[in-house]
Amino acid sequence: MAGAFRTVRKNTLVIAEEIAEENYGYSPAEGTRTVAQLLTHMACVTGIPEQIHKVQHVSDLATFDFFGVMQAIAAEEGKPRMKADIIALLKDSGEGFASWLEGLSDDFLAEIVTYPPHMMPRTKTRFEMLLSAKEHEMHHRGQLMLIQRLLGAVPPLTRAMQANIAAMTAAAQAKG
């Protein structure tokens, strides 16, 4: 799980580095995060699972102050930061989260966490919940890839796929 998260964060960092600093204030539509806010959100949001599982060891989410934690993250997103500061934040938070994941035991990951009555499913394992941090980042990275397109760039994963296809095509043509 830690390795998978590191891979996702590495791909996020490539995009963060490729987007020019003058585009960090870009928002694709009214009411959406800017590039800087989105990247800062991605850097800070791993604090939610850390608070739930590491700090408070919550077993019933009805007792967790989700809105209070989200307010703190929103405040962090709103702080002005330079591109280099955001990239450093992404690196530090990503490695801190991945290092913590590496040390988790199978017993810990198998523990059941209960959700409030209005949410489905009613329970999940800590493992299932912690996987969502990677899924959440991938969701936002998809947004960043679309933003790159809107800014006139081809996202790095697309370029890599295109290069692989070109290499496979050339190899097939060489075989005749």
* Residues 21-72 pLDDT 10s: 999 999 999 999 999 999 999 999 999 999 999 999 999 999 999 999 999 9
CA distances 161 to 30, 71, 85, 171, Å, are 32, 38, 30, 15
Question: What confidence score (pLDDT) does residue 89 get?
Answer: 97
User: Measuring CA to CA, which residue among 173, 133, 165 is closest to residue 12?
Assistant: 133
- 120 contact partners, CB below 8 Å, separation of at least 6: none
Q: Is the pLDDT of residue 76 over 90?
A: no
Tell me the pLDDT band of 153, cut-offs 50, 70 and 90. very high
- 128 contact partners, CB below 8 Å, separation of at least 6: none
User: Measuring CA to CA, which residue among 66, 74, 48 is closest to residue 132?
Assistant: 48
Q: Is the pLDDT of residue 97 over 90?
A: yes
Q: Is the pLDDT of residue 77 over 90?
A: no
The overall pTM is greater than 0.75 = yes
Domains in the chain with CATH codes: 2-175 (1.20.120.450)
Q: 2-30 burial, b for 16+ CB within 10 Å, e for fewer?
A: beebbebbebbeebbebbeeebbebeeee
Question: What confidence score (pLDDT) does residue 121 get?
Answer: 84
Rounded to whole angstroms, the Cα distance separating 84 from 97 reads 20
